[in-house]
Amino acid sequence: MDNRPTSASCSIRPIRGEDNAAVAGIIRDVMTEFGAVGRNFSISDPEVAAMYEAYPSPTAAFFVIEHQGRVLGCGGMGPLADGPPDVCELRKMYFRPELRGTGMGTRLLAVILDAARQSGYRRCYLETLGNMAGARRLYLKHGFGVLDRPLGNTGHSGCNSWMIKDL
């Protein structure tokens, strides 16, 4: 029996309090994998240890991807700090290596963007790294445009790629 995750074998659901440790582990592992370590990256955000509590609706939402009872990916959205009120930020969308390439990025992104629309946002902004090529391809494929400078004040000055999409 093949236990590798596929789009059909995974589910997306809102984060629960008991997911905090798994989500923090994903964020820390993936950011370390891509060299995004230090105070200028979201790995250092206080919310990493308590993601469930950090995303209250109706202005924010956070989701996990589960496969056979194990959380393998995550991502969400919330208000852009010091940004226009109609702009949300795509936040902390990270996948364990075994989940990458399964189509779950497209599925999760659609769920997050739908939640943003339902929350009244008109645009979605994100920050990433140039070396996260797979993530950048995903965002470009789904209509994000490249910006030449950051928006708002996320505190993530280590990021070197900024994108935005009309919702």
Task: Assign a CATH topology to domain 10-166.
Answer: Aminopeptidase (3.40.630)
| Cα angle 140, 51, 36; round to 5 | 55
In the chain, % of residues over pLDDT 90: 79
Nearest to 7 by CA among 64, 90, 61, 65: 65
Nearest to 41 by CA among 107, 131, 144: 131
Nearest to 138 by CA among 98, 90, 84, 80: 90
Determine the Cα–Cα distance for residues 116 and 120; give it in Å rounded to an integer: 7
Residues contacting 144, CB < 8 A, separation 6+: 124, 126, 163, 164, 165
Omega before residue 58 within 30° of 0, cis: yes
Determine the Cα–Cα distance for residues 18 and 4; give it in Å rounded to an integer: 23
In the chain, % of residues over pLDDT 70: 99
Determine the Cα–Cα distance for residues 115 and 55; give it in Å rounded to an integer: 12
Q: How confident is the model at residue 146 (pLDDT cuts 50, 70, 90)?
A: very high
Q: Which helix (H) or strand (E) is 145 found in, with range?
A: strand 145-147
Q: Return the domain boundaries, the chain.
A: 10-166
Write out pLDDT tens, residues 92-145: 999 999 999 999 999 999 999 999 999 999 999 999 988 999 999 999 999 999
Write out pLDDT tens, residues 34-55: 988 877 788 888 889 999 999 9
pLDDT reported for residue 151: 95
pLDDT reported for residue 1: 52
DSSP state of 21: H
pLDDT averaged over every residue in the chain: 93
Amino acid type, 142: H
Write out pLDDT tens, residues 58-104: 899 999 999 999 999 999 999 999 999 999 999 999 999 999 999 99
